[in-house]
Amino acid sequence: MVADVVTVFVCRECRGAKRTIELMERETDAQVRAVGCQKICADHVVGVRREGALTWFEEVDSPSKRKALVRFVSAVAPSAVPKPLRRLVVRKRADRLRT
């Protein structure tokens, strides 16, 4: 059985986008894509597509949140959203991507 590829979308217009992209490329095997503004404007916006579902997180701006994001992206599926990221989920953007 082939594992599903995890894709990470990073808003290129948010502060910290370059650092987040470099971190995801260095620490995970996920495909990383820079995308345009997602209209949730909370800086450090990151989307993770795994198992067909796209989950958006806002304000992933501290070392502990970035570490939790790496754990979530790298986890063997199925995986629940780590506790430090739960309150950062943007429900109104679930499963939607503005390109």
The alpha carbon dihedral of 42, 15, 47, 70 has a sign of negative
pLDDT score for 36: 93
What are the chain's domains? Answer: 7-93 (3.40.30)
pLDDT in tens, the chain (99 residues): 445 789 999 999 988 899 999 999 999 999 999 999 998 877 889 999 988 899 999 999 999 999 999 999 999 867 789 999 999 999 988 898 887
Contact 81, 68 (CB under 8 A): no
The strand pair at 31-35 and 7-11 is best described as parallel
Contact 95, 54 (CB under 8 A): yes
Residues 6+ apart with CB under 8 A from 5: 30, 31
CA pair distance 31, 4, nearest whole angstrom: 11
